[in-house]
Structure 1
């Protein structure tokens, strides 16, 4: 191999690579079509998924009831640390308290699946079914049939298990587990039963039952919540914004809208109930205290009036008046602290700092009240009694009035409690699905198909490690290339039918201006010079292996020579698998094999053709000893007799590397041509073939490179349109 050949092997011809891809455009197109078909199947069997969302704002502040009662005391809790107001609410929105209530209200813990719902059935089924969840139950319906599962209470043992529902002809149904009936009942009524697993309560309503079976599953609370969370997301919008975004996905637009709005409703309701819990706790305390205070006030007024009637009016000194005022203030402060103590008990434990502080203040007031009582006892008897009775009336009046005012304020605050969350956007029914995104999938499928097709074409091109350059043959074997024959566009549509048909049209006759025929015409001059130095006019055409196009080249070359007013004879010497008789529309009887076996004479085996000047000898019936027949003296004598009768005698032989027939025949011929097929014949095969000829002292005159399928400017030819088949398989 010379230096130029080595240089060529180390480089990549981009032009050649480009045109090799164009030549395989059908492979790429087929991959794109298959990819599009797969994408269409995926879109057809994949249900559309919709998405709806909502917004909730969390306000960081106390409720109206807390603002009315806490007063200055709220400052004590303000410095205990604070997080994002949305963090706790997100956890509540994901809690079983909210989601579990939604699942229970809308019966989301019941799943129904059609036993015939498979990807194959979805692909070809035209019937639309609808699965609907609401407070009444779960319904499954089509155009003609429907049923409603109003109640499905089953033993815990069967939770999360698929139970097969089968409708009977007599308005009954059965539930089976692993092909064993575990429950049966009547349609349109509540069916109750007890077994070793537990209690059953099943109510299925249907006036037009389905014929096929269904799978019913009652989900446990944990499983139902986890299943809902698969399509449900909650996240804060931004950072420390207090705005929470909720999103829910599903196949039914109305269903996902109802579920998300119900989540908002349950969440908002529990938030209001939680925020009004302080007011309810305080109102309970006041409902208990007010009747007692009123009763104490009435008793103290009665005693005070009796005392005044008995002793008339008693002058109260300034010191006594001061003690009275102090006593009243202490009692008022004490009852207010008691009220706050009841309020905080709804929030905090007894060990909380706020509770400890209030208890300490109440103890301090009790101590001062005792000291004041001791001071009052030291007053004169009449004055002391008057002061005590007057104090009781005054204190009870003040306390009763104060608590009554607080009670009215709490009633108003409780009625106006709205919680600390505000629903900004409720869920609305979506219009367009979010997936599958059909246009994107189709576009991606085109790109994927194109990529896979290009990759397959490159792999096929890489696997074609055969001869792709006529100069490679000339440089390595030092033999001339007589012709490079491209694939014919005319034969492209016929190649698949050639073997099945009894008659194969000759391309040189049907389409004389075909590009492959023009290439064969160009080698007439080379054959003329080769014959001028040859021992006879016998031309043998062979090849290293089958399917290189020997018969195509032999037949069309013979037709071209005959069309130039030459007497031409073509012999089918492939006694095993030759089929030259199909080109000339002759039967395969009375051929070369019969002549060599002595069954026919020479005149009967030479047959005329539709081409003027061209005769043919077919192979005849395949013999058991073809090599012995071809190496016989009778075959050599036959060639000697035929040579002077014709200008050219073309012999089509079997593959050289397969059998020895071609080497035997080459000893009698003057010109020996070897056919190599582009991208299929290996250089090593061609070298071994040439060596076989050299071993018997026969010279190969030239090579014909057949079936060119690419463009390669600079090699002496340029066929950029990517023809397919021009040669039928030998």
Structure 2
């Protein structure tokens, strides 16, 4: 049972630790709300500027159906089309063909898409102000661009290869009908509305300018290469099949000008349909051309065979062929007809395929079989009388030639009919139209994503800053890291913080500025802890108890703690002396509104070797105007403060002061800035380290205490100063239940 209880306690502790760690991350983010707000506003500004900088983008769509029904040679029936493959390209293949240069080049040439115009006078600020800038418009007549000073019209611009993709500047001359064209090296002068030929260092330039803006407004013009132009069109053009194996292709094009992209997409479809139709009739055209060359030859061959046969009949008269010879003649005639038909098919196929094609090989095999049978019949006919053999031969040749000629003539007429009605296998379903619907930039989405990105970047910065600068926040963590107890957490006084913003105003004590605050109550709690933790006798004698207060670095509030701690001890009717031992940068005199140029440094640097009497010491101890509190300022800045503190004069001073005070509070320089605190610790009964919440770096505090430990100096407690209360500060529970009247 004890084991189960221990396991349950361990599991609960681990869960609480995880919850605290997650909660700590949340508080790290919430504490950096200013950073998050800054990056969120920055993201908002960037998003708004970007949404205004980018021109609106429009979209135009079209649908094309790919018909899988075969055309062309199939119209011949089963005679030839059964042997010729009429495989139709799938929709995916057609989609790739639409984006090829074969389809796009005619559109580029027709609409002058390779000519690029731009207005160099428009900068980024102008684009943001106007929210939309003019873009060039390409038509069959030429290219146009609107500017603030007029319109640009170019109907022709051709350059040699060396000038492709290079920018030129067009500028209207003072005379209305002339212009200049320059590229930084060459400058040419031409006339408006005329074809101008220029010969430059890199080749020929031909340009026709119809209009230019006035007031010396420059225009940038360039002639793109075909590859770059088609690449730009392909980048804006999307071609994809709708669904799976539907045979319907959707063409979509985006751009900053609705009418322009609609026109370009229409011309692309027209170019594709024209190429598709010519590609569909290409097979029929080739077959007709072949037939046109063969028909006259077949006709001549038929006429020649008929003439020879008729001549033979006139010379020999009619011959009565027996039943056997008639069958042989009929079979031989049929075989010859089949052989000639196969040869015709083979000749037709070899216009498309090689001798190794399976269809050609198949015909060769069939011809071999028929020739073998023909040889057998020939051997049988050889047994017939010579006159009969000649009659059979001539009559068979005539019948074969007549059959081939009539078949070819019939197919030729059929193909002519097919070609007349051939329309290709692509059909336009929907032509592109102008919708004027903006698809980009989506301003609301861009702004939301920009704000979200700014917040995420802010969170990263907050976490990175928290990792790099691991500030003091958790008293428990400090105790585990340093081995020194945190004996007090002093909350921030909002009223005193507001008063401290006036740098010219003197520092004020909590007793006079904010005596009802939690900060003042925390100082009193520190006093109580020290009263019960101090030894009965001080190190330097029987009466005074010395408290040394230091910090790891400047700005942690050690002087604030020293001054207010002196005030609360004085309330107990105890004689208190506060010494500003920071002879370099001490400012305790401002808190008590006393001049600080005459004090401890002057006393220790006095070259008079005679013993300092109480009367002479009284010249350095100044009254604060507060009951039971005296003050020794820092004095003039000495050349070697540490050396003065190590002198015997300080020991004598402490022995003398011990006889007159109950508590001596010494405000020393920071540990990491000087070694003065190590020397002063010799006279202290308590050494307290002040650190500032969410300001002091944890590693610096640990290092400072480690340095003191190496010098055998014991730190008796840590005071966490300026702790801020609120939901964004995880460790504010250390004082949130303080009892008092916090008005």
The two structures have a TM-score, normalised by structure 1, of 0.70
Between the aligned partners of 2:287 and 2:87, the Cα distance in structure 1 is 25
Shift of 1:575: 0.9
What pairs with 1:378-389 in structure 2 (closer than 5 Å)? none
1:107 is aligned, of 95, 102, 112, to 112
SS at match of 1:180: coil
1:106-146, CA deviations, whole angstroms, 9 ceiling, x for partnerless residues? 11111223445665664566673322221222222234433
Alignment match of 1:222 (pick from 227, 252, 256): 227
CA gap of 1:188–1:424, structure 2 versus 1, over 3 A, is same
The residue number in structure 2 matching 1:574 is 582
Q: 1:661 to 1:236 in 2, by over 3 A?
A: closer
Which one of 549, 552, 568 corresponds to residue 560 of structure 2? 552
What CA deviation, in whole Å up to 9, does each residue of 1:534-586 have, x standing for no partner? Answer: 34044321234434321222233334445677665433221111122343455
Q: 1:613 to 1:119 in 2, by over 3 A?
A: farther
Count of equivalent residues: 645
Distance 1:268 1:476 in 2: 80
Contact 2:238–2:252 (8 Å) recurs in 1: yes
Aligned to 1:149: 154
Report if aligned partners of 1:531, 1:671 keep a CA contact under 8 Å in 2: no
Residues 506, 593 of structure 2: 8 Å contact kept: yes
Q: Which residue does the alignment assign to 2:321?
A: none
For the residues of structure 2 that align with 1:136 and 1:647, how far apart are their CA atoms?
104
State the Cα distance separating 1:262 from its structure 2 match.
1.3
Query: Using a 3 Å threshold, how does the CA distance of structure 1 residues 677 and 73 change in structure 2: closer, same or farther?
Result: same
> Alignment partner for residue 688 of structure 1, among 707, 714, 719?
707
- Would you say 1:659 and 2:665 are equivalent positions? no
Question: 1:427 and 1:286, CA in 2 relative to 1: closer, same or farther beyond 3 A?
Answer: same
How far the C-alpha of 1:708 sits from its partner, in A, is 4.3
Q: Residues 443 and 508 of structure 1: is their aligned pair in 2 closer, same or farther, counting only changes over 3 Å?
A: farther
Q: 1:51 to 1:624 in 2, by over 3 A?
A: same
Q: CA deviation at 1:18?
A: 3.5
2:634 alignment counterpart: 619
Find the aligned partners of 1:618 and 1:417 in 2 and give their Cα distance. Answer: 111
The alpha-carbon deviation at position 182 of structure 1 amounts to: 4.6
1:44 to 1:489, Cα distance in 2 relative to 1, 3 A: farther
Secondary structure at the aligned position of 1:483 is classed as strand
Give the corresponding residue for 2:308: none
- Structure 2 residue 257 is the aligned partner of structure 1 residue 252: yes
- Structure 2 distance, partners of 1:261, 1:143, is 30
Quick one: which of 143, 146, 164 aligns to 1:159? 164
- Structure 1 pair 473/273, CA: closer, same or farther in 2 (3 Å)? closer
The residue number in structure 1 matching 2:548 is: 540
2:519 paired with 1:516: yes
Partner of 1:59: 67
Residue 175 of structure 1 deviates from its aligned partner by 3.4
Alpha-carbon contact 1:130-1:142 (below 8 Å) kept: no
Match of 1:606 among 601, 609, 622: 622
Q: Distance in 2 between matches of 1:196 and 1:672?
A: 87
Match of 1:208 among 209, 213, 218: 213
1:593 maps to which residue? 601
C-alpha distance in structure 1 between counterparts of 2:258 and 2:602, whole Å: 83
User: CA offset at residue 29 of structure 1?
Assistant: 3.6
User: How far off is 1:283 after superposition?
Assistant: 9.9
Give the conservation status (yes or no) of the 8 Å contact 2:671–2:704: no
Is residue 82 of structure 2 the alignment partner of residue 76 of structure 1?
yes
Which whole-Å CA distance do the structure 2 matches of 1:84 and 1:275 have between them?
A: 11
Q: Which runs of 5+ in 1 are unaligned?
A: 291-332, 361-370, 379-394, 720-730
Whether contact under 8 Å (1:590, 1:605) holds in the other structure is no
Q: 1:474 to 1:226 in 2, by over 3 A?
A: closer
Distance 1:94 1:464, change over 3 A: closer
**C-alpha separation in 2, matches of 1:350 and 1:199:** 46
For the 8 Å contact 2:163–2:203, the answer to whether it is kept is no
Secondary structure at 1:230's aligned position in 2?
helix
> What is the match of residue 23 of structure 1?
31
How large is the RMSD of aligned CA atoms in angstroms? 5.5
Matched residue, 1:363: none
* 1:528 corresponding residue in structure 2: 531
Residue number in structure 2 paired with 1:419: 424
What SS is found at the alignment partner of 2:227? Answer: helix
SS at match of 2:635: coil
Residues 190 and 541 (structure 1 numbering): CA distance in 2 closer, same or farther, change over 3 Å? same
The alpha carbon displacement at 1:486 in A equals 4.1
Q: Separation in 1 of the partners of 2:581 and 2:115?
A: 81
Q: Structure 1 pair 570/125, CA: closer, same or farther in 2 (3 Å)?
A: farther
SS of residue paired to 1:130: coil
Equivalent residues of 2:53, 2:131 under 8 A apart: no
* TM-score relative to the length of structure 2: 0.69
The runs of 5 or more residues in structure 2 that have no matched partner are: 1-9, 296-336, 368-386, 395-401, 608-615, 738-743
Q: Which of residues 702, 707, 717 in structure 1 aligns to 2:717?
A: 702
Matches of 1:98 and 1:612, distance apart in 2: 101
Measure how far apart 1:715 and its partner are.
Answer: 8.4
Q: Does 1:184 align with 2:189?
A: yes
Shift of 1:59: 1.4
How big is the shift at 1:649? 3.9
Q: Is the 8 A contact 1:712 1:718 kept in 2?
A: no
Tell me what 2:273 maps to: 268
Matched residue SS, 2:186: strand
Indicate how the Cα distance of structure 1 residues 18 and 59 shifts in structure 2: closer, same or farther if over 3 A, else same: closer
Q: Match of 1:56, SS?
A: strand
**Partner of 1:261: helix, strand, or coil?**
helix
Deviation at 1:531, TM superposition (A): 6.7
Structure 1: how far apart are the matches of 2:474 and 2:96?
Answer: 73
User: Is the alpha carbon distance of 1:554 and 1:186 closer, same or farther for their aligned partners in structure 2, counting shifts above 3 Å?
Assistant: farther
